[in-house]
Amino acid sequence: MSARTVHTLTGSGIPLSAHFTLPAEGAAPRATILAIHGRGMRAGYWDAFTPLATRLGHAVLAVDRPGYGDSAAYLPEGQNLADQAETLRAALKEHARTHDLGAGVFLLGHSDGGKVALHTAAGGTDAPPLLGLDASGVGYHYNPEALHFPSTLGGGATKLNWGPLGLYPRGTFQASRALLAPTPPRESAETMWWPRQFETLAPEIRIPVRLTFAQHEAWWDLSETALQAMTTRLTASPSVTVDHLSSSGHNISLGHTATAYHLRALAFLEECLLRR
């Protein structure tokens, strides 16, 4: 069986709680997946993904982002997305001192965690080698209906975050309460500026990128024009792929189609390993 531990990373002196799972039977990891949760969630968002990844020989480091989990006491206002990425890069560097990363680090991000993953990929070269980036639920331009940016915990974002309730297994919404956490103020304050941020960081991303959007994704403008504008800004990436997942809502990894999405993400990781 795979060995999962409650783990603490340290990034720039900030303790970050995480779930760390190694491949079965103590095998050396083929790669390490840094799984980054979305707004108002915790690392447990990736619990269904981890067993699949470890069975394929990868280590999974599902982290509570800066401002969530153990770091919330140290960062009561949280950090903006760029600072979160810097903290995660420092934590990865420290983690690599004592753990085998395999061929490198694969970034897996959802929603605001996908934004942080994109910031992380665009950052400096002082972090361990990055293999690729798979992001779900993060686009370029917001859907006009989402521009009021409702509170996740306040219930105003139910339609945006979930879509039709039948897309999720029975009991999902009760169980997901354990995953919820307040969104740090600094993270919330910069939400509206994401399109401008993406325009700045996109040309600096030099690893393969895969973007997945749910059929019932309501946060983002998913028109062909908007998606083409997003992908064409990733000028330094060796490959950019856009995938659409039917019968799914924004929180893909909690829905009925979670396994399909996770397997596609892991297939993309295999392509990144072959490319490397």
- In this structure, what token pair is assigned to residue 237? 């990436």
Average pLDDT over residues 261-269: 98
The overall average pLDDT reported for the chain is 92
Per-residue pLDDT of 33-74, as tens digits, reads 999 999 999 999 999 999 999 999 999 999 999 999 999 999
| CATH superfamily placement of domain 3-275 | Alpha/Beta hydrolase fold, catalytic domain (3.40.50.1820)
Write down the residue that tokens 């019932």 correspond to: 216
Angle subtended by helix axes 81-96 and 112-122, to nearest 10: 70
The torsion angle over the Cα atoms of residues 100, 101, 102 and 105, rounded to 10 degrees, is: 180
Per-residue pLDDT of 131-141, as tens digits, reads 999 999 999 99
Select the more confidently predicted residue: 224 or 155: 224
Write down the residue that tokens 């219930």 correspond to: 155
Residue 263: CB atoms within 10 Å: 13
